[in-house]
Structure 1
């Protein structure tokens, strides 16, 4: 892929299923490694085909919220989709409106559409592991070390080359990734080198924190501390994978 291209969750799901099936056909076990939890969630639980936003319905919902309040919209959602209402915080206006909008457009609840997507998924068994150090200080030290290494290995030169492409700008998804946007600002003279380096490390730490929060919400995930020996880790992994 070129950085000018967009890569959606739906496209990832399709590509990943194709590769998973190809690996299975070889009699091997696919190993998926990464940190984009939303993409993993789509693989494991399906991705509902939801309608595009409807400007008129959005305007109607905005008017209803102004007139009756967000609590009334959440109560309305509870009547048409109690499971979604239980998942969505009563103060999350965007998600409440989207769930109601989906129901008004399709006549089906968001929960029903998501369940339908899950029912159509290939029947793979996912065994989930999370690896993290016991002390968050170690994680922060590793993040800083890794970012310094990336800079030493030519990260700035890479972004400088990307900036020269005529159809690429910093508003594109690829350039909004952690590290790229900080270096882009540095090359534009917005930040000094030290400011860029600091912001890149801080942004990476914030990303890691969000990833850990998502991982902790995954009830079937098995944690392995980074300090665990290979032998001990295998004792944990093998019975779960080969059961």
Structure 2
């Protein structure tokens, strides 16, 4: 029997609800969440063609300019017809945080509602959705000079050694961060050094997450995980056919990249980097890329289930033949604009 994602623990969420709420005087915004290969982008485009919405990307990989194939970014023709917000923000050598996303997305949402439209936030970066919904702890901004110092120490001693140093300063953060996770080790050490306090202690502080929007939350989940895996395999194969290897090769020529940068740690790019370094062959690139994407989808589903336990979210089976119709029915019931006649 297929593995079920729409399980009993979520049965209270898997319904079509009327999302009118006491905060109905606030402008509406739609959150369209789901794992990789669940069809979010296609459904978002259909919604944009039938409802007065503007699409806002919630994807930590699509913020990078020049990274198009491996991030499944909409093509130029689609973007010309249906502009997307919060894509192509930075170069691959730069970094973008959840705090930056929250600030930027709230500004974009205000702009969209100011034009009389409804923000449609679509994507699979659950950290970004959580940052929007829960708010963020007051952590210091990145300090490039301090980060450079930490990185230079890592070159000499290695990240596992810095992980041990982190454990002495912030045992809770160290316990949940792998000794090889350079990005998170660096951030936790940076926060400790800038504030004089463990990051885990700061994260426990109360957050202010009140939003000036009526959020209508929709999740696309696969009833059959096996079918989602088939989609993932085909998706990655398509990326290879479309020129993912050439894209990464060109990025390496254009920018001073290294495999530890967040951009090159994205699924597909990390594996293609190994191939270009001649550490794996094409078959291994394909296999590792598919496995990594499946692991990403599993993490996204775990995180999404956590969000669904804490917020009112309507879940639909992304594999259902009539999922597009169900989405339209849901949005009409939620009083989202004057959508097209059914």
TM-score band (shorter)? 0.7 to 0.9
Cα separation, 2, equivalents of 1:143 and 1:199: 12
| Residue 200 to residue 59, structure 1, CA distance change in 2 (3 Å) | closer
The 3-state SS of whatever aligns with 2:206 is helix
The 3-state SS of whatever aligns with 2:136 is coil
CA apart distance, 1:170: 1.4
Contact preservation (8 Å) 2:137, 2:203: no
Cα separation, 1, equivalents of 2:97 and 2:170: 32
1:225 matched to 2:317? The reply is: yes
Contact preservation (8 Å) 1:131, 1:224: yes
The aligned counterpart of 1:141 is 230
Contact preservation (8 Å) 2:138, 2:202: no
CA apart distance, 1:222: 1.2
**Between 17-26 and 124-133, the greater mean CA deviation after superposition:** 124-133
| Residue 60 to residue 139, structure 1, CA distance change in 2 (3 Å) | closer
The aligned counterpart of 1:238 is 332
| Residue 213 to residue 60, structure 1, CA distance change in 2 (3 Å) | closer
CA apart distance, 1:233: 3.0
CA apart distance, 1:236: 2.7
More contact order relative to length (CA 8 Å, sep ≥ 6): 2
Contact preservation (8 Å) 2:93, 2:255: no
The aligned counterpart of 1:113 is 205
What are the residue-to-residue correspondences of 1:65-104 with 2, within 5 Å?
Answer: 93-94=175-176
CA apart distance, 1:59: 6.7
Cα separation, 1, equivalents of 2:166 and 2:94: 34
The 3-state SS of whatever aligns with 1:31 is strand
Cα separation, 2, equivalents of 1:134 and 1:146: 19
The aligned counterpart of 1:196 is 285
| Residue 61 to residue 156, structure 1, CA distance change in 2 (3 Å) | closer
Mark the runs of 5 or more structure 1 residues left unpaired by the alignment: 53-57, 66-73, 75-87
The aligned counterpart of 1:129 is 218
CA apart distance, 1:9: 1.1
Which has the larger strand fraction?
2
CA apart distance, 1:110: 4.0
CA apart distance, 1:46: 1.0
Correspondence for 2:273 among 184, 192, 203 = 184
1:162 matched to 2:251? The reply is: yes
The aligned counterpart of 1:173 is 262
Contact preservation (8 Å) 1:159, 1:183: yes
1:38 matched to 2:130? The reply is: no
Which has the larger helix fraction?
1
Cα separation, 2, equivalents of 1:63 and 1:8: 23
Contact preservation (8 Å) 2:92, 2:255: no
1:62 matched to 2:168? The reply is: yes
Contact preservation (8 Å) 1:47, 1:114: no
TM-score (norm 1): 0.74
